[in-house]
Amino acid sequence: MSYRSSVRLNRRHFLSSVAIFLAAGTSASFARSISGSLPWQALASDPPIQVVPGGWYFFTPQEAATVEAIVDRIIPADELSIGGKEAGCAVYIDRQLTGPFGSSSRLYTKGPFLPGLPTQGYQGEANPAQRYRAGLAAMDAFLKQRDGKSFVELQPAEQDAFLTEMEAGKIALPNGIKSAGFFGLVLQNTMEGFFADPIYGGNKDMVSWRMIGFPGARYDYRDHVTKHNEPYPQSPVSISGRPEWLGKGI
């Protein structure tokens, strides 16, 4: 037998042996019969729970007042929409901080903690709840030392100037808090609260969706798929439905 023939036979024998092993292994480990039932459990995932405004679950009254003032400067009331405070952005953030987001329970949070690239996001040890608590305290400590006032006590123009400096990283907050990083966290959560489904506490009466013409959680768009560059004529729909369906008005 030639060397090439021997190699070909050995390779064929090896592959057939592996195939038999995999077939036997997978059939014993993964195969199962499904008869008379679905291969998944209906409603197995956690459905969103309607956030009920009123009271604070995470923030202290002082922290809540500061956050409400911040979100109202990030999204000030104008002719297009209500402000961030009235829209419920602070309520959204408060409720998020009491859940998996606040504790980072669904993220890997072990070390080592090393500086990352700007595109890699936050790389520190503290979770969002800890960052908010420390960041808000550092803000007030800095302002009371510099101006003798808390953020809430500043005039709107002064609040805007301070937040602008924070965003640029020009504010040296105490206890090693990075002002640009903390501002970025609050900015991101404020935008989420303004544009997320109202079921999570923000976007009151779907104000942002009405402003941009977003239809929301509608189940069927077939009548409008081919109508390009035309405003959607229907009111938006939340995960929980439309206010008029629930007898709440708008």
- Residue 126 falls inside a structural domain: yes
The count of other CB atoms within 10 Å of the CB of residue 76 is 14
Q: Would you state the structure tokens that stand for residue 6, as one six-digit string?
A: 């021997």
Does 122 map to a domain?
yes
Q: What range defines the domain where residue 88 resides?
A: 61-108+118-212
How is residue 27 written in tokens?
Answer: 């059939």
233 belongs to a structural domain: no
Give domain status of residue 179, yes or no: yes
Residue 144 placed within a domain: yes
Residue 171 has a CB neighbour count (10 Å cut-off) of 22
Decide if 229 is inside a domain: no
Q: Confirm whether 249 is domain-assigned.
A: no
* DSSP string for residues in 113-174: -----GGG---SS--HHHHHHHHHHHHHHHHHHHTSS-TTTS-HHHHHHHHHHHHTT--B-G
Going residue by residue through the chain, which has 250 residues, state the pLDDT in tens, using 9 for 90 and above. Answer: 544 444 444 544 544 444 444 444 444 445 555 556 666 665 566 668 888 888 999 999 999 999 999 999 999 999 999 999 999 999 999 999 999 999 999 888 888 888 888 788 888 899 999 999 999 999 999 999 999 999 999 999 999 999 999 999 999 999 999 999 999 999 999 999 999 999 999 999 999 999 998 889 887 878 888 889 888 888 899 988 766 655 555 4
Which pair of structure tokens corresponds to residue 73? 């400067």
Domain count across the chain: 1
Dump pLDDT digits (tens) for 161-214: 999 999 999 999 999 999 999 999 999 999 999 999 999 999 999 999 999 988
In a domain, 221, yes or no: no
* pLDDT score, position 45: 65
- The residue type found at 248 is K
pTM score, whole prediction: 0.78
The burial class, CB within 10 Å (0-12 / 13-18 / 19+), for 224 is middle
Question: How far apart, in Å, are the Cα atoms of 181 and each of 72, 163, 188, 198?
Answer: 19, 12, 11, 27
- Residue given tokens 């101006």 in the structure block: 147
